[in-house]
């Protein structure tokens, strides 16, 4: 398989849809249902990119991103934030937390795949 993507999303249906879309494009997909699991999975698996929901229980996407950015092997890993909130302050919070880019929900498949291609050249 190609690149490994970690999808962090607390809604099971959304997580499964993202997994199906990405696997159909040849990505190996890991999933995490909250920020705490995301940090653990990222540290163990070293994914090539992370899709991070911003609004989750326990540890939200911003907190999880900050924790992941502290891990030496993941400091430059692309982290793409996504949320249903399209306000400027959510985008700014995500970028300040260490996210590489930002998408709003519902995520458009074409836009997501184009963004992954930009951050994961050669796919």
Residues 34 and 59 sit within 8 Å (Cβ to Cβ): yes
Helix axes 61-69, 88-97, angle to 10 degrees: 20
The pLDDT tens digits along the chain (123 residues) read 589 999 999 999 999 999 999 999 999 999 999 999 999 999 999 999 999 999 888 899 999 999 999 999 999 999 999 887 766 787 889 999 999 999 988 889 999 999 999 999 765
Read off the tokens for 10. 């607390």
- pTM for this predicted structure: 0.93
- Sketch out the chain's domains with CATH numbers: 4-119 (3.40.50.2300)
Query: What is the pLDDT at residue 122?
Result: 66
Spatial contact of 3 and 28, defined as CB atoms under 8 Å apart: yes
Task: With beta carbons less than 8 A apart as the criterion, state whether 75 and 95 touch.
Answer: no
Instruction: Specify whether the CB–CB gap between 105 and 83 falls below 8 A.
Output: yes
pLDDT computed for residue 86 by the predictor = 65
Phi-psi region of 122 (alpha: psi -120 to 50; beta: other; left: phi over 0): left
């Amino acid at each position: 398989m190609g690149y490994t993507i970690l999808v962090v999303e607390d809604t099971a249906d959304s997580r499964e849809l993202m997994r199906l879309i990405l696997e159909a494009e040849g990505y190996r997909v890991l999933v995490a249902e909250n920020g705490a699991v995301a940090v653990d999975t990222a540290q163990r698996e070293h994914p090539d990119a992370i899709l991070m929901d911003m609004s989750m229980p326990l540890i939200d996407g911003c907190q999880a991103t900050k924790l992941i950015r502290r891990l030496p092997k993941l400091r430059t890993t692309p982290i793409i934030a996504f949320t249903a909130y399209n306000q400027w302050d959510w985008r700014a919070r995500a970028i300040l937390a260490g996210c590489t880019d930002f998408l709003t929900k519902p995520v458009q498949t074409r836009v997501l795949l184009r963004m992954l291609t930009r951050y994961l050249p050669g796919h």
